[in-house]
């Protein structure tokens, strides 16, 4: 149903819209109840965070009686093909993590048992493309997927250049063919998945080169298309968040006429990477970075206020949450094992000891 849903359906895109599952979801909503697959968002909202649901509602223009029958928006994840092994990701979204697990089976325990390799055949979207209004190309890394080029070409061939194109990318690669095709569309938005800058970025998003990402960000901004940085607030990223916000402010100061925002999503899965598991020196380091980040964002009036709200909520949670020994131990063991496998060093990267 959406990227936050835990229900996976073995259906074609044609069967999906008329499935008993979707009918049940609609009936539940009409009855004023909450579908079980919506609980993830509802729980996040109760804690004061934004969610997939609240972000989607910004673009929702229908009431309950005028919802169209046809699919208008596709969150398209063609495969898990990716060139990075990000610490808060999982194998169904990264072929590199799937490969790492096959080489080091001992780390299997840190991932969802159902989170296996996810490589799909070509999806038949021909019946949707003529009237589709919005497509979010994600993955995996969508700029590595040749099938996405075919879909863009087909949309242009059909004359559906009013379809809003969204690209969710890790910023490590630039595909000239896709950049050229995007010029034909009237609305293009880039979401850049950036959790940190410099050595912190390379630690969290393993396999990345910050110098390359920085150059690619400037290439994307030069297109004068809508851009947002999306940052996952994890037990790692909050430890250097102030540096990322400083970098974001420098971009805002340079690209003054460029639609550019920063958003945050809280890392609730896996639970042992949620910032609330941090203790002592690490917790204080995270709080200091949140305070610094909030101060920077206060001076950027054009950024959504919900971004500051998310950071303030996390700061309050860190000030009040109690120790969860089991989750903290899992975080420490996960960090140690990946450091050994990847030849990385948490203490040197973040300038503190996690013990």
pLDDT tens readout for residues 210-266 = 999 999 999 999 999 999 999 999 999 999 999 999 999 999 999 988 899 999 998
Confidence check: pLDDT of 112 > 70: yes
Asked whether 232 and 191 are in contact (CB, 8 A), the reply is no
Dihedral sign for Cα 6, 19, 95, 75, please: negative
Residue at 28 is within a domain: no
Nearest-5° Cα angle at 52, 145 to 174: 25
CA–CA separation, 44 and 10 (whole Å): 28
* Dist. CA 279–CA 325, nearest whole Å: 10
Q: Strand runs (DSSP E) across the chain, as ranges?
A: 73-77, 85-86, 134-138, 164-169, 188-193, 205-206, 226-233, 260-266
pLDDT confidence bin for 117, thresholds 50/70/90? very low
Look at residue 167 and tell me if it is in a domain. Answer: yes
pLDDT at position 63 is 79
Backbone phi, then psi, for 159, in 5-degree steps? 80, 10
pLDDT tens per residue, range 135-170: 999 989 999 999 999 999 999 999 999 999 999 999
Is residue 186 assigned to a domain?
yes
CATH of the domain at 288: 3.80.30.10
Q: Is residue 8 part of a domain?
A: no
Do 138 and 75 touch, CB atoms closer than 8 A?
yes
Mean pLDDT (whole number) for 293-304: 92
For residues 68 and 73, give the distance between their C-alpha atoms in angstroms, rounded to a whole number. 11
State the chain's mean pLDDT as an integer.
Answer: 90
The arithmetic mean of pLDDT across residues 101-122, rounded, is 74
Is 15 part of any domain? no
> Each residue of 77-95: pLDDT tens digit?
888 999 999 999 999 899 9
3 occurs within a structural domain: no
Rounded Cα distance, 199 and 348, in Å: 10
Kindly report the number of other CB atoms within 10 A of residue 322's CB atom.
5
Tally the C-alpha atoms within 13 A of residue 37's C-alpha that lie toward its C-beta: 17
Residue range of the domain that includes 277: 33-58+68-350
**224 assigned to some structural domain:** yes
Residue 118, pLDDT > 60, answer no
Q: With pLDDT > 70 as the criterion, what percentage of the chain qualifies?
A: 96
In this structure, of 26-40, 88-102, 114-128, 282-296, the range with the lowest mean pLDDT score is 114-128
Q: What are phi and psi of 36, to 5 degrees?
A: -60, -35
What is the per-residue pLDDT across 187-214, written as a single tens digit (0 to 9) for each? 999 999 999 999 999 999 999 999 999 9
The count of domains in the chain is: 1
Residue 138: half-sphere exposure toward Cβ, Cα within 13 Å = 17
Closest CA to 182 of 130, 216, 128, 220: 220
């Amino acid at each position: 149903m959406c990227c936050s849903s835990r229900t996976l359906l073995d259906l074609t895109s044609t069967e999906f819209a008329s499935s008993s599952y979707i009918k049940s979801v609609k009936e539940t909503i009409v009855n004023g109840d909450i579908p079980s697959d919506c609980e993830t968002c509802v729980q996040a909202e109760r804690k004061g965070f934004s969610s997939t649901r609240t972000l989607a509602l910004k673009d929702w223009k229908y009431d309950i009686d005028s919802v169209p029958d046809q699919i208008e928006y596709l969150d398209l994840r063609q495969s898990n093909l990716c060139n990075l092994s990000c610490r808060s990701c999982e194998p169904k979204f990264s072929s590199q993590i799937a490969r790492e697990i096959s080489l080091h089976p001992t780390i299997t325990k840190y991932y969802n048992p159902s989170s296996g390799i996810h490589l799909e055949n070509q999806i038949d979207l021909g019946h949707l493309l003529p009237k589709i209004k919005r497509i979010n190309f994600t993955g995996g890394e969508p700029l590595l997927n040749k099938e996405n080029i075919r879909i863009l070409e087909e949309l242009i061939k059909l004359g559906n250049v009013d379809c809003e194109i969204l690209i969710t990318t890790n910023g490590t690669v630039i595909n000239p063919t896709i950049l050229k095709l995007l010029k034909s569309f009237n609305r293009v938005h880039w979401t850049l998945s950036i959790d940190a800058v410099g050595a912190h970025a390379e630690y969290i998003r393993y396999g990345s080169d910050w110098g390359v990402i920085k150059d690619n960000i400037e290439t994307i901004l030069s297109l004068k298309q809508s851009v947002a940085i999306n940052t996952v607030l994890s037990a790692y990223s909050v430890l250097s968040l102030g540096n990322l916000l400083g970098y974001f402010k420098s971009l805002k100061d340079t690209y003054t006429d460029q639609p550019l925002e920063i958003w945050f999503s809280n890392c609730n899965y896996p639970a042992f990477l949620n910032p609330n598991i941090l203790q002592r020196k690490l917790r204080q380091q995270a709080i200091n970075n949140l305070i610094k980040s909030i101060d920077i964002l206060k001076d950027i009036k054009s950024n959504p206020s919900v971004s500051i709200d998310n950071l303030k909520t996390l700061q309050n949670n860190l000030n009040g949450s109690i120790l969860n020994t089991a989750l903290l131990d899992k975080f420490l063991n996960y960090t140690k094992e990946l450091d050994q496998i990847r030849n990385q060093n948490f203490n040197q990267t973040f300038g503190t000891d996690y013990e």
